Amino acid sequence: MRLREQPLIDAAEIERRVSELAQQISSDYTGREILLVAVLKGSILFTADLMRRLTTPVVLEFLRARSYQDTESTGHVECTLFPEHALKDQHVLLVEDILDTGRTASVIIEKIRQAQPASVALCTLLDKPSRRVVPVEADYVGFTIEDRFVVGYGLDYSERGRELPSLFVLDNDEQN
């Protein structure tokens, strides 16, 4: 895996933005408990940093989604871990690493709605709106980025690079 030398977004910038998001979320959810649903694996660092800065009480659950890309590029998404019984009447805040085509988030949100929560909102560290295929909008966005493949701070390239504290762009010649 070859990454650009200079981070796209460095650790200090991530920390500042996560603090801002936490402040905004805490204020929006004042007096309510948040059921944070972290989407594995990519959102774990973001979720950990975000939740320790929230001033509202939280309950944490995990969800795992797998996407299959077929030849017509109609991705099929399946949840392999789903907190079925935890969601009813709760204020669910879904925490994603990145909103790309929007396929994963749209399937997850629909599945969460079926479990009858009191509310559902989406918080994503990164948003690549130019890649959207399914119309999904996040309620909270850390950074809006161009169509680049990014690695670090939980995001992987073939399971590598999640441990990096900053976000890096993958060098193009390795992407395909």
Annotated active-site residue 100? The verdict is yes
Q: Quote the least distance from Cβ 24 to Mg ion, whole Å.
A: 26
Measured between alpha carbons, how far is 18 from 20 in angstroms, rounded to an integer? 5
Residues 7-36, one symbol each (x = binds Mg ion by CB under 5 A, - = not), give ------------------------------
User: Which of Mg ion, ligand IMP, none has residue 104 at its interface (CB below 5 to 8 Å by kind)?
Assistant: ligand IMP
Q: By beta-carbon distance, which residue lies closest to Mg ion?
A: 156
Catalytic pick among 89, 100, 156, 173:
100
Closer residue to ligand IMP (CB): 29 or 138: 138
Q: Quote the least distance from Cβ 71 to Mg ion, whole Å.
A: 20
Closer residue to ligand IMP (CB): 26 or 62: 62
**Contacts of 150-155 spanning 24+ positions with Cβ under 8 A:** 150/8, 150/98, 150/126, 151/1, 151/3, 152/3, 152/7, 153/11, 153/14, 153/45, 153/46, 153/125, 154/41, 154/42, 154/43, 154/44, 154/45, 154/46, 154/97, 154/125, 155/42, 155/97, 155/98, 155/126
Active site residues: 100
